[in-house]
Amino acid sequence: MTTKMFGAPIKRREDPRLVTGGGRYLDDLGHTAFEAAFVRSPHAHARIVDIDVTDALETPGLVGIWTHEDLDGPVGENLPLLIPHPALIAPATGFALAKDEVNHVGEAIVLVVAENRYAAEDAVARIRVDYDFLPVVVGLETARTAANLVHDHAPGNISAHLLQEVGDVETAMAGAPHRLSLDLAIERSACMPMEGKGVYARWDTDAEHLTLWSSTQTSTGVRAAVAARLGLPLAKVDCITPDVGGGFGVKIMHPWPEEVLIPWAARLLGHDVKWTEDRREHFISSAHERGQLQEVEVGFDDEGRVLALDVKFWHDNGAYTPYGIIVPIITATQLLGPYKPGAYRVEFWSMFTNTVLVTPYRGAGRPQGCFAMERTMDAIADYLGVDRAEVRSRNFILPEEMPYDHGLMFQDGRPLKYDSGDFPASLAKLKALVGWDDFAAYREQAASEGRRVGLGIGCYVEGTGVGPYEGAHVVIETSGRVNVATGLTTQGQGHQTAFAQIVADELGVPIETVHVTTGDTRRMAYAVGTFASRAAVMSGNAIALAARAAKAKALKIAADALEVSEDDLEIIDGVIGVKGLPEASMPIGTTAVLSNPLRYAFDEAAKAATQFAGTFDPDKPPVADDEEPGLEGKDFYSPTQATFANGMHAAIVETDPVTAEIKILRYCVIHDCGTMINPMIVEGQVHGGVAQGVGGALYERMVYDEFGQLLNASFMDFLIPYASEVPHVEADHLETPSPLNPLGIKGAGEAGCIPVSAVIASAIEDAEGFPITSMPISPGDLWELRQQHDRG
């Protein structure tokens, strides 16, 4: 009997290779390549007066030096605005190499290629750039108030402004029995994948063909962007993603300056060129996220039901806006989480600062939105003296109200509609898991021992599995092995395992026979990429559809060969058999042979190799007139809208009464990502997300000085949590299948990190008894807050 794979918590097949050093990452490719390094701006805002490369030209091993002026054609043009939006009133994108002006520390100014990285770095050190300094804008407070501008075309440093209102907030607020205001802040942070970005380019002069390897989250996007910039037809460019050591959002953008420059140089030189980002480059010239200031006003009734919610926030987008308003619009539209306020108004301003640009980082605007909403829920509960979980449940959208439409418009101008979810059931599960009702007794016990503990909670929803499409190609070989290609990329999410699980069940073949390829434009030219927790929904469903097409063909061929109806056939362990007639069977690979027009050449080998038990008619045409040769299925999945995952977290923290040290004693998660392909992978994703969330809540912040210098641009100074700081995560699941896709899947990849700051703030506030309004919070911050609180 074939074991059901879909839903089985099997171990990830890719891990033995990855954890034993078998991974092949970008920097492992081609050690004969020339290597690139960049002169990057040491100043946050300056005009470039002169670039003097004379001395650098003497560097041993140097191959070439280029500035903006050397970039011909589209390579030298402004980098693209990837996601436009009417609210983006003053877009700005940079150049592959800075033209005339730099707008943040780390902006690339000069490309150097040498025989190796050492020589390239030596040459970089010998290039002299003269600057005229310009006034610097750092931090949202300065951006809002300073007379200085990051870009002359953006008065007030505002890149975008958007307002959405559902219902009449002013009237509802005026009529609300109670009103509260909150001023909140989330600091800038960034993801820290183990492997930085990287590009390797090979130009085949004879074939006029470019092969690119990129540590990207979207190989098709990079391919298209590079082809356009280099003026090459798509057919002359391939992009392959080797193993990728984490992406977390920062590797989506296409093209990064380096992704354009490295292939451009490779073509010019007729030699392989590679660049791998070092950690300092990652800090200062990749991308950050999170930074927001928020003002919330809420009106509510005696029961704590929200009658009116008015949110204003300012979002730090850094120096450029290639992503338009995608992060703040996610905050604005998904902030409401599982709740249904009477009326809602949200208004945001996206602000330029002289800091590195902002792109979506795991959670993408949701951790900030969740922070605003959940701090508000706690404030209401504390004000009314009502249990904090109870206040939340009184505001929930109920399962019978699904699908639920808040009336908000997303980036694409379409309504944002929740498809499914059972929030009361999730909360009940969470309360049971964390022991919500027993906490008062635990707190008392702890207090009697001189310990200070608090319980926090946070709820969220997450739009996942966004379109427009993803495809899959499933090919059954004559050996019976199955090759699956899907175009999106993988950065550690376990796709090779989960996708193979889907195929094993759909085809009825052993999982060991299924091989999955991702992120290779030679195998799948049409794809979008891995971000927004979309792979399971998008490729998962496309793979199932493609496998079903291949299976239908296999059964048709087998039915014909075995002279039975297709309905009488079943596939078990890779063998197609007639139900109840064990002697009439044929391995699935045999149908692949029969579907091949050249099968006569294979006949004997196939017979020998496949214990084929049916009859073989050599005169029969191998492929019916209406069929194509080959046993394969190709299909695309394209959803009408995102599907909404959701979850609720609770944490118990202890704060040291003297040192203000913050310890997470317990961390509990209830997560609903619809039908799970592999619960162990989902839990791994949730654990990883929580770990990143803990970083954002307690440790990680970008510390800029007033001149725009990032003071903690190394792991010596930027704290990320180690295993010792990440709590044991107790996770349980609720599966409310999505009605929107055939497999009922919702995404899981970002959820873990979304509510963590809100939950930890809630727990610290519960322990300390005064409001926590800004994250991250260090022991030093908490100690300061205690002093302020004591001073009244």
User: Would you tell me which residues interact with ligand MCN (CB under 6 A)?
Assistant: 193, 246-249, 362, 491-495, 498, 530-537, 673-678, 681-682, 685, 688, 745-750
Nearest approach, Cβ of 676 to ligand MCN (angstroms)? 4
Query: The tokens of 657 are what?
Result: 């009464």
3-state secondary structure of 254: coil
Nearest approach, Cβ of 402 to ligand MCN (angstroms)? 18
3-state secondary structure of 74: helix
DSSP code, position 613: -
- Which H or E element spans position 500? helix 495-507
E-strand spans in 34-97?
34-40, 46-52, 62-66
- Which of 166, 252 has the CB closer to ligand MCN? 252
- Which H or E element spans position 761? helix 756-768
Nearest approach, Cβ of 322 to ligand MCN (angstroms)? 17
- Which of 443, 687 has the CB closer to ligand MCN? 687
Nearest approach, Cβ of 673 to ligand MCN (angstroms)? 4
Which residues, at least 6 apart from 582, have a Cβ–Cβ distance to it below 8 Å? Answer: none
Count the Cβ atoms, other than its own, within 10 Å of residue 179: 15
> What does the chain come to in residues?
792
Residue nearest ligand MCN (C-beta atom): 749
- Which of 14, 765 has the CB closer to ligand MCN? 14
Residue 522 Cα to chain centre, angstroms: 24
Inter-residue contact 548 to 743 (CB < 8 Å): no
Nearest approach, Cβ of 372 to ligand MCN (angstroms)? 21
Count the Cβ atoms, other than its own, within 10 Å of residue 175: 13
Nearest approach, Cβ of 752 to ligand MCN (angstroms)? 9
Nearest approach, Cβ of 18 to ligand MCN (angstroms)? 10
Rounded to whole angstroms, how far apart are CA atoms 571 and 567?
11
Nearest approach, Cβ of 419 to ligand MCN (angstroms)? 14
Query: The tokens of 339 are what?
Result: 């709740």
Which residues, at least 6 apart from 473, have a Cβ–Cβ distance to it below 8 Å? Answer: 484, 485, 486, 523, 524, 546, 632, 633, 634
Nearest approach, Cβ of 218 to ligand MCN (angstroms)? 11
- Which of 331, 591 has the CB closer to ligand MCN? 331
Cα dist from 302 to 100, 381, 382, 386, 394, whole Å:
60, 10, 12, 10, 11
Nearest approach, Cβ of 213 to ligand MCN (angstroms)? 17
Nearest approach, Cβ of 495 to ligand MCN (angstroms)? 5
- Residue 516: left (phi > 0), alpha (psi -120 to 50), or beta? beta
- Which of 41, 757 has the CB closer to ligand MCN? 757
Which amino acid, residue 712? N
Nearest approach, Cβ of 246 to ligand MCN (angstroms)? 4
DSSP code, position 383: H
3-state secondary structure of 367: helix
Backbone angles phi, psi at 437, to 5 degrees: -75, -15
Name the CA dihedral angle for 789, 694, 426, 335, rounded to a multiple of 10 degrees: 70
- Which of 513, 643 has the CB closer to ligand MCN? 643
Nearest approach, Cβ of 643 to ligand MCN (angstroms)? 10
- Which of 139, 247 has the CB closer to ligand MCN? 247
Which residues, at least 6 apart from 715, have a Cβ–Cβ distance to it below 8 Å? Answer: 192, 279
Which amino acid, residue 272? D
Nearest approach, Cβ of 593 to ligand MCN (angstroms)? 32
Rounded to whole angstroms, how far apart are CA atoms 762 and 764?
6
Which residues, at least 6 apart from 658, have a Cβ–Cβ distance to it below 8 Å? Answer: none
Rounded to whole angstroms, how far apart are CA atoms 291 and 304?
29
Residue whose tokens read 């996610």 = 330
Rounded to whole angstroms, how far apart are CA atoms 717 and 724?
18
Nearest approach, Cβ of 94 to ligand MCN (angstroms)? 23
Nearest approach, Cβ of 364 to ligand MCN (angstroms)? 7
Rounded to whole angstroms, how far apart are CA atoms 373 and 186?
13
Nearest approach, Cβ of 702 to ligand MCN (angstroms)? 18
Residue 679: name the closest of 619, 626, 731 by CA.
Answer: 731
- Which of 253, 381 has the CB closer to ligand MCN? 253
Residue 136: name the closest of 389, 382, 318 by CA.
Answer: 318
β-pair type (632-637, 643-655): unpaired
Quickly list DSSP for 390-415. Answer: HHHHHHBPPGGG-SEEEEEE-TTSSE
Cα dist from 376 to 145, 182, 224, whole Å:
27, 7, 44
- Which of 115, 735 has the CB closer to ligand MCN? 735
- Which of 247, 369 has the CB closer to ligand MCN? 247
- Which H or E element spans position 316? strand 306-316
Inter-residue contact 327 to 289 (CB < 8 Å): yes
Q: Is the dihedral of CA 215, 219, 223, 224 positive or negative?
A: negative
- Which of 43, 746 has the CB closer to ligand MCN? 746
CA atoms within 13 A on the CB side of 255: 31
Nearest approach, Cβ of 507 to ligand MCN (angstroms)? 18
**Preceding peptide of 657 cis, ω within 30°:** no
Q: Is the dihedral of CA 337, 529, 551, 580 positive or negative?
A: negative
- Which of 681, 697 has the CB closer to ligand MCN? 681
